[in-house]
Amino acid sequence: MNNKTILLTGGGTAGHVSLNQALIPELKNLGFNVEYIGSKDGIENELIRESFPSVPYHAISSGKLRRYFSTKNFSDPFRVGAGLMQAVAIIRKTKPVAIFSKGGFVSVPVVMAGRMMSIPVIIHESDVTPGLANKIALPFADHIFTVFKETLAHVPSSKSTCTGSLIRSELMEGSAIKGQEICSLDNDLPVLLIMGGSQGSAMINSAVRNNLERLLKQVNIIHLCGKGNYMTELDHHSNYRQFEYVTHELPHLLHLTDFVVSRAGSNSIFEFLALKKPMLLVPLSMQKSRGDQILNANLFEKQGFAHVVEEGQLSADRFMEELERLQTDKEQLITAMTQAEAPITAAEMAKLVAVHTK
């Protein structure tokens, strides 16, 4: 044990946490102590405390970075300021050899505090273009890792490295048998996994449930519907399984799955790619996001890994048409995915992070 500490930060969505979850055990294997800075109410608090109860979790104040007008835009800078001072205190106490940031609004004061205190700051960007938090943090970073080669055009090239995607080891160790034990599906129809992100997607949920009777004649459905979207009145269907959210079960469910309908968050779509799952992507629209999922989805479609339908075009009938096309093109999509670059392992990523510690 070298007794050197690395501070991880990132939150707001599961996508800003999952890479950190993969890195924690690998950094520990390299002999580092790991501690986490997140928000009090963000999803990162629940995910990190549940997955790694022995990892110290420091909750700080954070404001939300909005691209639209809100009265909270006037008070949030004070929350960011408070978070900055809290981050400074945590850094003084833990004396880290590096800060690794996965983005999300909670990471901004942590990155700023790290630069103020001459701690090496490492940023990871999963999307084609940097999110707002990472865009603000770029000047404070000592090194930037990207998933997409295209991202290098949007970040300082002199301090950036494209690593490709990182896949959690537990994902590859998933078991279709365990997935079946979780779902207890009683027929041999193909399995369709529906994912709408950690909060779920009202539009995807509606497209599935409005077609449910037709769909269940063709496929078994595993529906990750998002918190607050569970419908108990649908539980009588023998080949429809719904979950508000899953964590440790997801690798097993993915190994059981034949097709996926999902949002286009970078972490998720690269996991589908690694497992060679034909996917229909429904990216968040420009009205609901900065367009990062649209860019992700379009790149995957261009490479032949996925079919894409715009959110605004996802009617009940269009959903059925696209699902039929997905099934027809299954082998073509899988063939394209087998030619993709191999993902980096969490152990390899941890070693890259270690290079940039002080």
pLDDT tens for each residue of 158-197:
999 999 999 888 899 999 999 999 999 989 999 999 998 7
The answer to whether 118 is annotated as binding is no
Radius of gyration of the chain (CA): 21
H helices of the chain, where?
A: 18-29, 43-51, 72-94, 107-116, 132-137, 169-172, 176-183, 202-210, 212-215, 250-256, 266-274, 292-302, 316-328, 330-338, 346-355
- Of 33-37, 288-292, 340-344, give the range with the top mean pLDDT: 33-37
Predicted pLDDT of residue 196: 87
Point out the least confidently predicted range of 4-13, 56-65, 74-83, 337-346.
Answer: 74-83
Q: What is the DSSP letter of 142?
A: S
Whether 153 and 231 share a structural domain: no
Whether 15 and 139 share a structural domain: yes
The answer to whether 13 is annotated as binding is yes
Point out the least confidently predicted range of 175-184, 195-204, 250-259, 320-329.
Answer: 195-204
Whether 160 and 214 share a structural domain: no
Predicted pLDDT of residue 77: 67
CA distance 314 to 264: 15
Whether 9 and 150 share a structural domain: yes
Whether 188 and 332 share a structural domain: yes
Q: What is the DSSP letter of 172?
A: H
Predicted pLDDT of residue 242: 97
20 contacts 100 by C-beta, under 8 angstroms: yes
Q: What angle do CA 74, 72, 116 make, to 5 degrees?
A: 60
CA distance 127 to 104: 12
Mean pLDDT of the chain: 92
Q: What angle do CA 265, 268, 272 make, to 5 degrees?
A: 130
Residue 76 confidence class, pLDDT cut points 50, 70, 90: low
- By residue range, what is the domain housing residue 145? 5-164+344-355
Predicted pLDDT of residue 67: 52
List the one residue out of 257, 305, 320, 314 whose CA is nearest residue 283: 314
CA 240 to chain centre: 25
CA distance 74 to 303: 43
What are the tens digits of pLDDT across the range 257-311? 999 999 999 999 999 999 999 999 999 888 777 888 999 999 999 999 999 999 9
Query: For the residues 143-147, what does the mean pLDDT come to?
Result: 97
**Domain CATH number, residue 139:** 3.40.50.2000
Percent of the chain with pLDDT over 90: 81
Q: How far is CA 196 from CA 72, 200, 245, 298, in A?
A: 27, 4, 10, 18
How many other β-carbons are positioned within 10 Å of the β-carbon of residue 89?
Answer: 13
Q: What is the DSSP letter of 138?
A: G
287 vs 137 pLDDT, higher one: 137
The answer to whether 14 is annotated as binding is yes
For residue 58, what are the β-bridge partners? 37
Predicted pLDDT of residue 2: 61
322 contacts 309 by C-beta, under 8 angstroms: yes
Q: How many residues does the chain have?
A: 358
Whether 68 and 128 share a structural domain: yes
16 contacts 44 by C-beta, under 8 angstroms: yes
79 contacts 66 by C-beta, under 8 angstroms: no
Whether 104 and 83 share a structural domain: yes
Predicted pLDDT of residue 72: 55
SS3 assignment, position 123:
strand
Whether 155 and 176 share a structural domain: no
Whether 183 and 329 share a structural domain: yes
List the one residue out of 75, 96, 82, 98 whose CA is nearest residue 39: 82
224 contacts 243 by C-beta, under 8 angstroms: yes
Number of domains in the chain: 2
Predicted pLDDT of residue 291: 82
pTM: 0.87
Predicted pLDDT of residue 3: 78
Which amino acid belongs to residue 221?
Answer: I
Whether 71 and 185 share a structural domain: no
Whether 70 and 210 share a structural domain: no
List the one residue out of 107, 112, 145 whose CA is nearest residue 12: 107
CA distance 277 to 269: 9
Whether 60 and 133 share a structural domain: yes
Sequence-separated (6 or more) residues with CB below 8 Å from residue 209: 231, 234
How many other β-carbons are positioned within 10 Å of the β-carbon of residue 90?
Answer: 19
